[in-house]
């Protein structure tokens, strides 16, 4: 998930900054340099945000799976002793 977020945020930042700098009348080289720096910065932010989100989702799914498994085991034990 981190790589996907990195790609999305990086390209979004690149295109936004490139468009903004060209509209402001900045030269092409400076516009590309600024957009490239923003691409890498926002790609890094997106990567870490995606890794954190992936970790959180994985933990929640794992916890719910363990709870469901425990509930089924309790139901099976209660059914077996009755």
Per-residue pLDDT in tens (0 to 9) along the chain, 82 residues: 889 999 999 999 999 999 999 899 988 899 999 999 999 999 999 999 999 999 999 999 999 999 999 999 988 888 877 6
Domain boundaries, the chain: 2-81
Q: Say which residues have a Cβ less than 8 Å from residue 50's Cβ, sequence separation at least 6.
A: 1, 2, 3, 4, 5, 6
């Amino acid at each position: 998930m981190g790589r996907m977020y990195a790609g999305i945020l990086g390209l979004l930042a690149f295109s936004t900054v490139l468009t903004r700098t060209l509209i402001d009348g900045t030269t092409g080289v400076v516009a590309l340099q600024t957009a490239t720096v923003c691409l890498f910065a926002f790609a890094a932010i997106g990567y870490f945000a995606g890794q954190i989100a992936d970790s959180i989702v994985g933990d929640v799914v794992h916890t719910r799976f363990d709870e469901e498994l425990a509930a089924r085991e309790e139901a099976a034990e209660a059914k077996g002793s009755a």
